């Protein structure tokens, strides 16, 4: 199973030091391949073509960079002979130490349907509380696995920890030929591809309390929200 890290951080950054201080990631440190596109460093032309043109709502530079990073990892995965790829963002938190070989063996054993997208965390977050589906009969590392009903894809978010098989990687690459916000899974219905999204809770994600803990993308989204709110406040003053 190929292992990828989505991060724009340098190897000696405090953020990556914190990530690799966790037992799971420390153990596999040398097996991770890192991809990180800094959206704000794209040329104006590339940003406009990829993130603005033809879109109802322009992507922020951070959203575009995030999507481009994930797609780069998926393309690299397809250039290998591996059956699965496991992909993490750099703010992931281990709940317990995970053996990736054991994880891969169990994914194969419990017989999840291809094309496979298996979220390893996010279902526990407030934004995903309305997600519904069918619990699978088998557990994954002693954790429940839920097959998400497509009707509830719109309630599913996050891409900080997940596994894909080769068929799903191809679908995602094709779908993002014109990049979209990566973790808006409901948009995949537009592709009219038969996909299977499963969720489990093996890795956690921080509840953001301090500005210093936020990623570049999270800070960017907060700034956009504040700008939008200020515009609304201004409009309502008339």
| Tokens 């537009």, residue located | 190
Record the pTM.
0.87
What gap in Å lies between CA 159 and CA 180, rounded to an integer? 13
Taking only the tens of pLDDT, the chain with its 238 residues reads 999 999 999 999 999 999 999 999 999 999 999 999 999 999 999 999 999 999 999 999 999 999 999 999 999 999 999 999 999 999 999 999 999 999 999 999 999 999 999 999 989 988 888 999 999 999 999 999 999 999 999 999 899 999 999 999 999 999 999 999 999 888 888 877 899 999 999 999 998 654 454 454 555 544 444 443 444 344 433 3
Q: Give the per-residue pLDDT at 234.
A: 41
Contact 177, 50 (CB under 8 A): no
**Per-residue model confidence as pLDDT tens digits over 142-183:** 999 999 999 999 999 899 999 999 999 999 999 999 999 999
Cis peptide preceding 13, ω within 30 of 0: no
Per this entry, what is the length of the chain? Answer: 238
Q: Within the chain, how many helices (H) and strands (E) appear?
A: 7, 10
Query: Over the chain, what is the mean pLDDT?
Result: 89
Residue 37: name the closest of 29, 46, 28, 45 by CA.
46
Domain covering 2-207 in this structure, CATH number: 3.90.550
Helices 61-78/166-175 angle, 10° precision? 140
Q: Give the per-residue pLDDT at 143.
A: 97
Sorted by where each begins, the domain ranges of the chain are 2-207, 208-238
Alpha carbon distances (Å) from 68 to 6, 163, 175: 10, 17, 12
């Amino acid at each position: 199973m190929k292992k990828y890290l989505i991060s724009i951080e340098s190897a000696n950054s405090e953020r990556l030091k914190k990530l690799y201080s966790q037992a799971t990631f420390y153990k596999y440190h040398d097996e991770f391949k890192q991809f990180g596109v800094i959206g704000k460093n794209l040329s104006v032309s590339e940003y406009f073509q990829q993130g603005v043109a033809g879109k109802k709502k322009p992507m922020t530079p951070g959203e575009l960079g995030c999507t481009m990073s994930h797609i780069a990892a998926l393309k690299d995965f397809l250039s290998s002979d591996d059956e699965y790829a496991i992909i993490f963002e750099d703010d992931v938190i281990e709940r317990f130490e995970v053996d990736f070989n054991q994880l891969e063996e169990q994914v194969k054993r419990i017989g999840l349907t291809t094309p496979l997208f298996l979220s390893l965390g996010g279902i526990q977050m407030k934004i995903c509380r309305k997600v519904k589906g069918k619990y699978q009969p088998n557990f994954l590392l002693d954790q429940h696995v839920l097959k998400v009903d497509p009707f509830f894809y719109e309630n599913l978010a996050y891409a900080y920890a997940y596994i894909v098989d080769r068929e799903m990687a191809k679908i995602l690459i094709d779908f993002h030929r014109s990049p979209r916000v990566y973790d808006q899974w409901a948009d995949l219905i537009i592709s009219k591809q038969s996909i299977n999204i499963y969720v489990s809770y093996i890795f956690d994600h921080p509840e953001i309390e301090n500005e210093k803990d936020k990623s570049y993308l999270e800070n960017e989204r907060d700034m956009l929200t504040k700008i939008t709110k200020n515009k609304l406040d201004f409009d309502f003053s008339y």
